[in-house]
Amino acid sequence: MIELILFIIVAAVAIFGALTVVFARNPVYGAMGLMMTLFSLAVFYVVHLAHLVAAVQVIVYAGAVMTLFLFVIMMIGVDRDEDNTEKLPMQRQFVGALGLVIVLVAGIAAVGGRFDWVRPAASTVEANGTVQEVGKLLFTEWILPFEATSLLLIIAAAGAIALAYFGPRRRDREDA
């Protein structure tokens, strides 16, 4: 019962945050809404015994990544309300229609009893996502993807530096 109440409250918060992202006129509000959703998801992670992932979610995502977002928002000076009128013809109607179709299809599938996609647990063993357990797996079975992502991060960092350093303004300055 507690779980149900918790789910309803947290889910409501997550959806509210998500809707804020979509409809907020001010990007800063949008960022805040996204942060709310991320926190809500962290709560769900804890419920699912994914302690490490929940912690990383809060620290890296809600902390570092969102800070980066806010930082960019401030830097490029879009911390003001923007014009939300749609200029592409039929864009919103089309999106709405697509959403409707998806809901309809999902509804039909649900009525047809086809939402049995996650099978009941094959074993009753609890997967406890402690640092120790996750770390053990990460450095044994998943070592190759792990190393690959480290490479990806370095490349991304180098790419970001290159974009900032050799970007258009740089070139303008050299021309001048």
Q: Which of residues 134-173 bind another protein (CB under 8 A)?
A: 134, 137-138, 142, 145, 149, 152-153, 155-157, 159-160, 163-164, 167-169
Residue of 80, 113, 118, 175 interacting with another protein (CB under 8 A): 118
Pick one of 55, 74, 81, 94: the residue that binds another protein (CB under 8 A). Answer: 94
3-state secondary structure the chain: CHHHHHHHHHHHHHHHHHHHHHHCCCHHHHHHHHHHHHHHHHHHHHHCCCHHHHHHHHHHHHHHHHHHHHHHHHHCCCCCCCCCCCCCCCHHHHHHHHHHHHHHHHHHHHHCCCCCCCCCCCCCCCCCCCHHHHHHHHCCCCHHHHHHHHHHHHHHHHHHHHHHHCCHHHHHHHHC
Q: In the set 78, 107, 131, 143, which binds another protein (CB under 8 A)? A: 78
* Residue 32 in contact with another protein, rule: CB under 8 A: no
Among 80, 113, 123, 176, binds another protein (CB under 8 A): 123
Enumerate residues 36-55 that contact another protein by CB under 8 A. 37-38, 41, 44-45, 48-50, 52-53
Q: Among 13, 55, 63, 69, which residue interacts with another protein (rule: CB under 8 A)?
A: 69
